[in-house]
């Protein structure tokens, strides 16, 4: 294999006023033709800064203080290339797939138009030639009905399909190097598996070099030839995938491997990065001495029912006639029945579009049901009026997937946590209310010093802790966690899961934990329900269902978990 990309001693600083942040510190790595090199690390480790530096896409405060980025047979240094030279490289010789396809695609242009635009710009194709090439590319990335997808807008297709459009765009000019920046984060496990297989297949067919960025060593195990591990802007370890995963040398690499929920039993505290980087941590890399107090066993005696879902359906309009009358519906939730018992955590797992979020929101009265009844403590909430609903909502709360969008960016986090107390007239005295908020902050491992800060001043994991504190402000008896750890780094995910277990032991709430990741659900749940196309496919005790799935769909979800054999 011949060398395609070489990064030598790259250092990058971000300068804001008098503040200097050392984003990268003497980073060196290489990629050969036909090779996939994974760059692994948590948010803030510098992996995306490294990738964006290759195409000089970093914002203006970035300063390259040292290093070279050598690309191609001409051994050109991209850091000294002018704008014209960079334009010839970007999207043509080096292409990039970004983490979030919805924000990377233009919402006012059809998917086909956006890919054709790249071909017309770099390959100077006319409309007909570009149209035919896009259809071929959509076929290559295994999009269903390419001619129909060509004319659809990004919001009209699924997350996995949007990512395939991005891949088609990236490979349209036959690039020598493909940069994949977290291309499977927050995707369903089966969609994620399909995307990984597709990237590997295209890379082999076209002999591309690939830089694959991820925070999950389980994911890169499926695809990478070599792994580079980054921590706080520096490379701490590198080598062939098998060697890194079987014999990790650096404590940080050991931490990333060990904190995955699939390796741990329910009730066992998940290890985090701090456990490994702290000299007092177990030298074996797996922290066993800290075990969370188990929650009450809901299987003994006769379990007491808290929530009962009886034949619930939720419909969305699918077609309308000329007069605007709905002629067809999509059944997001289709005649579903189940119970949730006091003190248990019920896991609800399934792919995007299966109806699990709709079901969770209907259960909380956030969206109306089109059939059936929802009983909470034997009372039918579907018959409640507005006043009764407001009073009932003191007992139920939800933690959303994206903590940033569920926090008001103009409100300090102390005010955000105090807001439910004000709405429900729980604590009218301002001093006592502030004391209550600080107490909640401390329970989620934050401090009083954070009270007057805004959401943008916190990391993703810290924002999720703030949302959890706000959800617990009213001491609810029932909590819905809607993909609440889906987009978090594996170590931050471990911290949040540990926190939820600790808080459940303290507050004794009942929880519905919604996720597309069966390994997370299996770790935190007492029972698991598997949902598909609006119906419940299978229900069972967590460990039993995970080890002995009864349906083909559940087996496929389990088999798609990345790196489960590590």
Answer whether residue 275 is part of any domain. no
For residue 268, the 8-state DSSP code is B
257 domain-assigned: no
pLDDT of residue 467: 92
Token pair 């507005």: residue:
386
Rounded-to-integer distance, Cα 506 and Cα 89, Å = 56
Give the integer Cα–Cα distance in Å for 404 and 413. 11
Give the span between the Cα atoms of 296 and 510, in whole angstroms: 11
Write down the pLDDT at residue 294: 46
Token digits of residue 218: 């389980």
| Pair 198, 184: CB distance under 8 Å | no
DSSP secondary structure string, 83-151? Answer: HHHHHHHBTTTEEEE-S-HHHHS-TTS-HHHHHHHHHHHHS---HHHHHHHHHHHHHHTT-SSHHHHHT
Q: What pLDDT score does 340 carry?
A: 97
Per-residue pLDDT, 279: 54
Mean pLDDT value of segment 100-126: 90
Residue 133 φ/ψ, nearest 5 degrees: -65, -40
Residue 470's pLDDT band (cuts 50, 70, 90): very high
Q: Quick check: helix, strand or coil at residue 527?
A: strand
* CA gap 404, 489 in Å, rounded: 15
Evaluate whether residue 77 is within a structural domain: no
In which domain, by residue range, is 405 found? 306-484+512-559
- Asked whether residue 526 is domain-assigned, the answer is yes
Cα 375 vs. chain centroid, distance in angstroms? 32
For CA atoms 427, 433, 437, 439, the dihedral sign is negative
Query: pLDDT-based confidence at 137, cuts 50/70/90?
Result: very high
Per-residue pLDDT, 517: 84
Asked if the structure places residue 49 within a domain, the reply is no
CA distances from 161 to 132, 180, 186, 203, 485 (A): 19, 16, 14, 19, 23
pLDDT at position 250:
94
Tokens representing residue 277 in the block: 């980087």
- In the sheet with 396-399, reading across from the earlier edge strand, the strands are 396-399, 478-482, 510-515, 345-349, 527-532, 535-541
Q: Which has more confidence, 559 or 99? A: 559
539 strand-pairing partners: 529
Q: What is the mean pLDDT of the chain?
A: 89
Residue 302, pLDDT score: 67
DSSP H helix total and E strand total for the chain: 21, 20
Task: Give the model's pLDDT for residue 371.
Answer: 94
Is residue 188 pLDDT above 90, yes or no?
Answer: no
Backbone angles phi, psi at 153, to 5 degrees: -85, 155
pLDDT at site 290 = 40
List Cα–Cα distances, 391 to 306, 343, 425, 440, in angstroms: 17, 22, 11, 22
Check if the beta carbon of residue 211 is closer than 8 Å to that of residue 243: no
**Distance, CA of 259 to CA of 257 (rounded, Å):** 6
Q: Sorting pLDDT into bands at 50, 70 and 90, what band is 471?
A: very high
Residue 440 pLDDT > 70, yes or no? yes
Q: What whole-number distance in Å separates Cα of residue 411 and Cα of residue 457?
A: 12
Given a cut of 50, is residue 295 above it in pLDDT? Answer: no
Angstrom distances, CA of residue 527 to CA of 254, 498, 511, 520: 30, 18, 11, 12
Q: Which residue has the tokens 């959890």?
A: 468
Sign of CA dihedral 445, 451, 457, 460: positive
Query: What CATH code is carried by the domain that includes residue 476?
Result: 3.40.50.300
Count structural domains, the chain. 1
Q: 195 versus 294: which is more confidently predicted?
A: 195
Give the model's pLDDT for residue 42. 87
Look at 522 and 278; give whichever has higher pLDDT: 522
Residue 287 has pLDDT above 70, yes or no: no
Total length of the chain: 566
pLDDT of residue 119: 94
pLDDT digit string, tens, across residues 215-252: 888 889 999 999 999 999 999 999 999 999 999 999 99
pLDDT in tens, 31-68: 999 999 999 998 889 998 999 999 999 887 789 999 99
Contact partners, residue 136, CB within 8 Å, separation at least 6: none
Q: Of 247-261, 278-292, 338-352, 430-444, where does mean pLDDT reach its minimum?
A: 278-292
Average the pLDDT over 430-457 and give the result: 91
What are the strands, taking DSSP E only, across 342-446? 345-349, 371-376, 379-380, 396-399
pTM over 0.75: yes
Cβ burial, residue 28 (10 Å; 0-12/13-18/19+): middle
Which DSSP letter does residue 521 get? H
Average pLDDT over residues 487-491: 80
- Provide, rounded to the nearest whole percent, the portion of the chain with pLDDT above 90: 60
- Answer whether residue 92 is part of any domain: no
pLDDT for residue 44: 82
Domain annotation covers residue 163: no
DSSP-based helix, strand, coil % in the chain, nearest 5: 40, 25, 35
Query: Averaged over 116-126, what is the pLDDT?
Result: 93
Q: Is 321 within the bounds of a domain?
A: yes
The HSE-up count of residue 345 (CA atoms within 13 Å, CB side) is: 27
- Which positions ≥6 away from 473 have C-beta within 8 Å? 417, 418, 420, 421, 426, 436, 437, 440
Task: Express each pLDDT in 3-39 by its tens digit.
Answer: 899 999 999 998 877 888 899 999 999 999 999 999 9
How many C-beta atoms lie closer than 10 Å to residue 290's C-beta? 11
């Amino acid at each position: 294999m011949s060398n395609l990309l070489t990064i030598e001693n790259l250092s990058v600083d971000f300068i804001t006023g008098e503040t200097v942040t050392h984003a990268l510190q003497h980073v060196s790595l290489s990629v050969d033709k036909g090779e996939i090199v994974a760059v692994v690390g948590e948010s803030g480790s510098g992996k995306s800064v490294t990738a964006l530096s290759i195409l000089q896409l970093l914002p203006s405060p970035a300063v390259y203080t040292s290093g070279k980025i050598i690309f191609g047979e001409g051994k050109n240094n991209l850091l000294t290339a002018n704008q014209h030279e960079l334009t010839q490289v970007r999207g043509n010789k080096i292409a990039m797939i970004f983490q979030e396809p919805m924000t990377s695609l233009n919402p006012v242009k059809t998917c086909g138009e956006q890919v054709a635009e790249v071909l017309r710009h770099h390959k100077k194709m006319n409309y007909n030639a570009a149209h035919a090439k896009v259809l071929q590319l959509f076929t290559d990335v295994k999009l269903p009905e390419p001619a129909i997808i060509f004319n659809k807008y990004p919001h009209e297709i699924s997350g996995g399909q949007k990512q395939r459009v991005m891949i088609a765009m990236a490979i349209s000019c036959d690039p020598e190097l493909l940069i994949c920046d977290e291309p499977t984060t927050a995707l369903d496990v089966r969609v994620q598996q399909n995307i990984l297989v597709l990237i590997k297949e295209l890379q082999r067919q076209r002999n591309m070099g690939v830089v694959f960025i991820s925070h999950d060593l389980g994911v890169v195990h499926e695809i990478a030839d070599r792994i580079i591990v980054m921590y706080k802007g520096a490379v701490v370890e590198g080598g062939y995938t098998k060697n890194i995963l079987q014999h990790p040398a650096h404590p940080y690499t050991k931490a990333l491997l060990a904190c995955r929920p699939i390796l741990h039993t329910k009730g066992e505290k998940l290890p985090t990065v701090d456990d490994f980087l702290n000299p007092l941590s177990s030298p074996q890399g797996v922290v066993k001495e800290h075990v969370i107090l188990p929650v009450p066993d809901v299987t003994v005696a006769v379990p007491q029912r808290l929530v009962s879902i009886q034949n619930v359906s939720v419909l969305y309009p699918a077609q309308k006639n000329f007069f605007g009358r709905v002629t067809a519906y999509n059944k997001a939730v289709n005649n579903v029945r189940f119970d949730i018992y006091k003190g248990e955590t019920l896991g609800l797992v399934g792919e995007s579009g299966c109806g699990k979020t709709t079901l969770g929101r209907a259960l909380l009265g956030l969206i109306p049901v089109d059939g059936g009844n929802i009983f909470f403590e034997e009372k039918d909430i579907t018959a409640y009026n507005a006043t009764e609903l407001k009073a009932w909502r003191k007992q139920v709360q939800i933690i959303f997937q994206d903590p940033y969008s569920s926090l008001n960016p103009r409100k300090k986090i102390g005010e955000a946590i105090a807001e439910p107390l004000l709405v429900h007239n729980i604590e009218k005295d301002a001093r006592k209310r502030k004391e209550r908020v600080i107490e909640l902050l401390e329970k989620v491992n934050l401090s009083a010093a954070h009270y007057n800060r805004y959401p943008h001043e916190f990391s993703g994991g810290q924002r999720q802790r703030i949302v959890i504190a706000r959800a617990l402000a009213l001491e609810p008896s029932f909590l819905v966690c809607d993909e609440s750890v889906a987009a978090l780094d594996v170590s931050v995910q471990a911290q949040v899961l540990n926190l939820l277990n600790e808080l459940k032991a303290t507050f004794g709430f009942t929880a519905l934990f919604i996720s597309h990741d069966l390994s997370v659900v299996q770790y935190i749940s007492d029972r698991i329900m598997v949902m598909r196309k609006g119906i419940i496919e299978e229900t069972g005790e967590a460990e039993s269902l995970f080890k002995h799935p009864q349906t083909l769909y559940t087996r496929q979800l389990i088999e798609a978990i990345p790196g489960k054999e590590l």
